[in-house]
Amino acid sequence: MSRRPQILPLALVLLLVSGCATTVFTSTWKAPDVQGVSPVGKSVAAVFVTGNESRRRSAEDILVADLNARGAHGIAAYTVLPQGGHTASEQARASLKQAGAEAVVVMRVVGRDTRVTYWPGYAMPAYYNGFGPIWGYGWGVAYQPGYLQTDQEVSVETLVYSMKSDKLLWASTSRTTNPRGIDSLVSEVAEATAKQMQKQGFLAP
């Protein structure tokens, strides 16, 4: 009896890959005199910059949950600065410091693009020296037609400031492909950013 090879069609592989959000960094920067910062026990304010108040609150809650999971005390900025962008910068800084924030994480979407990729079709050769081989092998390597794949790419800027020195400690721009929504985007970028910070020695393990 011939045995059909277990070949996963390329189109299915690409579909599975493209269905998952992925985040990569296009640029990163950290203050050269800052090494191994630990969030444990520190009060850190989370700010998500957007004109949509409901999205802002949801995103800041996600950032706070991520900060708390890392041992920090997260403060959602909307609980301190309900007016968001309508608050003057000096007033916002004073209010955040009064709330006990030692640092501030600021996240905002800075770009969104659509990328269309064409994947050409392909056909694998089959064996014709007998009915068994063509029957068992042919089904697994049938022709796969070409198709277009559309991906959404969202760029996010993440900044970390020290409230004590009013100094930028970390800056990065990331690109996430096919996020499932704003909550998924914020959660994934926060996780990826923490890993990148650890990799570059900014965040203590």
**Buried/exposed 132-168: b ≥16 CB within 10 Å, e otherwise:** eeeebbeeebeebeeeeeeeebbebbbbbbebeeeee
Question: How confident is the model over 63-96, as pLDDT tens digits?
Answer: 999 999 999 999 999 999 988 878 888 999 999 9
Q: How confident is the model at residue 120 (pLDDT cuts 50, 70, 90)?
A: confident
Share of the chain above pLDDT 70, in %: 77
Which pLDDT value is given to residue 3? 39
Rounded to whole angstroms, how far apart are CA atoms 205 and 83?
35
For the chain, the average pLDDT equals 84
Q: How far is CA 101 from the centre of its chain?
A: 25
Which pLDDT value is given to residue 25? 97
For residue 23, how many other CB atoms are within 10 A of its CB? 20
**What are the structural domains of the chain?**
10-199 (3.40.50.10610)
Regarding predicted confidence, which is higher, 110 or 133?
A: 110
Which pLDDT value is given to residue 115? 80
Rounded to whole angstroms, how far apart are CA atoms 84 and 77?
8
At 142, the amino acid letter reads: A
Which pLDDT value is given to residue 173? 97
Question: Residue holding tokens 């929504």?
Answer: 181
